[in-house]
Amino acid sequence: MPGKEAKQGLDLSGQVAAVTGGAGELCGAFAQALAAAGAAVAILDIRAELAEAKAKKIRKAKGRAIGIGADVTDRASLEAAAGRIRQEWRRLDLLINGAGGNSPLATTSDQQSFFDLPAEGVRQVFELNFLGTFLSCQILGKLILDTAGQGQIINLSSMNAFRPLTRIPAYSAAKAAVSNFTQWLAVHLAQNYTPQLRVNAIAPGFFLTDQNRFLLLDAKTGELTPRGKTILAHTPAGVFGQADDLISTLFWLLDPKSRLVNGVVVPVDGAFSAFSGV
Ligand SMILES: NC(=O)c1ccc[n+]([C@@H]2O[C@H](COP(=O)([O-])OP(=O)(O)OC[C@H]3O[C@@H](n4cnc5c(N)ncnc54)[C@H](O)[C@@H]3O)[C@@H](O)[C@H]2O)c1
């Protein structure tokens, strides 16, 4: 079970975590690992039923979790989620902002040139990835300050933030904004509130999940697309990641001994971002 190893190193008993996008593949694994390390976990996701199903699975394994239907692009929805967490556990210590993703509407293709990309697609992708992270940091970050008084925020950035990938201009720009905002908020909180509320980001490399499967694997044959092949050829590790590959980095960032690690974006990418291609 993810987190079992981590539990031996980091005990999160008594702490409360909120994970947005927690019904998804990567953040679902984060939620499970946090619960296995002893945290009570609120799984926030626009897919309310799936959030509750993930929470149920954690409770079955003797962990503490609740599922909350929440839309990170909607302040009122996040405020309602914050109210529910306060009511349930009276505090919040850790926030993982995982809700995010690309949209076919903001992706260039033979059928849809850059010049024809609809503003609506670009807006959706910016709202979900950037505004969703921003609003969550405002509302749930405030809950951390008001209740625990210190803690951690971890945002989900991407390889696109370092250098844009072809075809997905809005997602690339929105994740660059998430990285930039991670740095901004780390400094702002440390200077104006407390350096004990750290803000960092994880930038996963390529993990096969629902949001990118259509770009990396042929829907009919399951074979790698030309793009999938190119990515693997540029990943010195030679593999796509699995959600569990991110857990050790998550726990390293959460460890109080990492108290000076603040405002950084950590790539977990099998050296994709380090490789020049030659
Ligand atoms: N999979 C990858 O290779 C990869 C690489 C880099 C970064 N990321 C980032 O990691 C995060 C998790 O990705 P994943 O691959 O697990 O994707 P996923 O699609 O499995 O999970 C994303 C979750 O966000 C939820 N969500 C969507 N809109 C929402 C909204 N408005 N409010 C609340 N929840 C909403 C979805 O229901 C889903 O459960 C995302 O931010 C993604 O951009 C993923």
DSSP string computed for 151-217? EEEEEE--GGGTSPPTT-HHHHHHHHHHHHHHHHHHHHHHHHT-TTEEEEEEEE--B--HHHHHHHB
Given this model, what pLDDT does residue 5 score?
46
Task: Output the CA–CA distances (angstroms, integers) from residue 133 to 19, 38, 83, 269, 272, in the order listed.
Answer: 11, 25, 18, 22, 25
Q: Can 171 be counted among the known catalytic residues?
A: yes
Q: What is the DSSP letter of 161?
A: G
Which residue from 30, 44, 45, 269 has its CB within 8 A of the most atoms of ligand 1, so it is best to mutate? 45
**Is residue 6 scored above 60 in pLDDT?**
no
The predicted-structure confidence for 184-240, as pLDDT tens digits, reads as follows 999 999 999 999 999 999 999 999 987 788 889 999 999 999 989 999 999 999 999
> What does the pLDDT read at residue 209?
87
Res 146 pLDDT > 50: yes
Of residues 3 and 29, which shows the higher confidence score? 29
* The one catalytic residue among 30, 89, 162, 171: 171
262 C-alpha to center of ligand 1: Å? 23
Residue 211 Cβ inside 6 Å of ligand 1? The answer reads yes
Q: Which of 5 and 74 is assigned the larger pLDDT?
A: 74
Q: Say yes or no to pLDDT of 163 above 70.
A: yes
% of the chain surpassing 70 pLDDT: 97
Amino acid residing at 209: T
Residue 271 predicted with pLDDT over 50: yes
Residue 14: how many other CB atoms lie within 10 Å: 12
The answer, yes or no, to whether residue 90 has pLDDT greater than 70, is yes
Classify residue 163 as exposed, middle or buried by CB count within 10 Å of its CB (0-12, 13-18, 19+): exposed
For the entire predicted model, the pTM comes to 0.95
pLDDT at 214: 81
- Domains of the chain with CATH codes: 4-205+241-267 (3.40.50.720)
The residue whose C-alpha atom lies closest to atom 20 belonging to ligand 1 is 24
Does residue 43 have a pLDDT over 80?
yes
The CB of 103 under 6 Å from ligand 1? The reply is: no
Q: How confident is the model at residue 51 (pLDDT cuts 50, 70, 90)?
A: very high
Using the predicted structure, report yes or no on whether residue 118 has a pLDDT greater than 50: yes
What rounded mean pLDDT belongs to the chain?
95
Say if residue 4's pLDDT is above 60.
no
Mean pLDDT within 245-256: 98
Angle at 193 between CA 128 and CA 130, to 5 degrees: 10
Q: Is the CB of 207 inside a 6 Å radius of any atom of ligand 1? A: yes
Residue 8: pLDDT band (50, 70, 90) is: low
pLDDT at residue number 9: 77
